[in-house]
Amino acid sequence: MSDDAGAPGHAGQQLPLEVPERIIELSRPGVIWLGGEAVTLEYSGGEKAVARLTGDFDESATFQNVVAAGFGSVPAPFPRPTVGTLTVGGRNQKEVRGAIDRWYRREARNRIGRCLEVESERLDLHASKVTIRDQKTRWGSCSTSGTLSFNWRLVIGPHHALRYVVIHELIHIRHHNHSKAFWADLTAALPDWRESAKWLRANEGRLTRYKPRLK
């Protein structure tokens, strides 16, 4: 993937993750992945092709989880599903897949939108427009008019990777290039960015090929 946000081409790529990431088994059947966590798939038996996320969301687990992953300074804005379930209906496999796909995009719009809100405020950088896409070749982009686009697949992986791409694209509102000034501002905004960029590079092939395995 010739991914903008994930291809810094900079020194420091060899920096090891201090804490190993939880393994994301994208091929595990009967689950979908959200924020790097497995969410159980359940079939409602209903004819309506809709998907709905339910479950116990442990608010306290959010912060601990983020600390454990080595990104302790900023808690993830989303609680971690401890026993999350995605209940999905549809008359056949195609409809079920369609419902999951639409749900993922809604979830991406919510999660990326909320992260963007927080980071825009913090960095005082504001997008003119935001779009969520299924880009095969990049995680995010920033147009000269300040439109930010993000790949919905960012919500599959851990929050720190999503947040890195959001911050990377926000910094492009100020610098429409990968100049020294760009990397300096990015590092000031997110000192740990290399670890997230590394995670994205290591997992981008799996994430872009990802198709939920139905039971």
Q: Which residues bind Zn ion (CB under 5 A)?
A: 4
State the nearest-atom distance from the C-beta of 198 to Zn ion, in Å: 15
Give 37 or 192: the residue with its C-beta nearer to Zn ion. 192
Give 82 or 131: the residue with its C-beta nearer to Zn ion. 131
State the nearest-atom distance from the C-beta of 196 to Zn ion, in Å: 13
Tell me whether strands 85-88 and 140-142 are parallel, antiparallel or unpaired: unpaired
Give 63 or 182: the residue with its C-beta nearer to Zn ion. 182
Give 3 or 107: the residue with its C-beta nearer to Zn ion. 3
Count of CA atoms in the C-beta half-sphere (13 A) of 186? 29
State the nearest-atom distance from the C-beta of 164 to Zn ion, in Å: 11
State the nearest-atom distance from the C-beta of 30 to Zn ion, in Å: 36
State the nearest-atom distance from the C-beta of 178 to Zn ion, in Å: 6
Point out the residue whose Cβ comes nearest to Zn ion: 4
Give 1 or 214: the residue with its C-beta nearer to Zn ion. 1
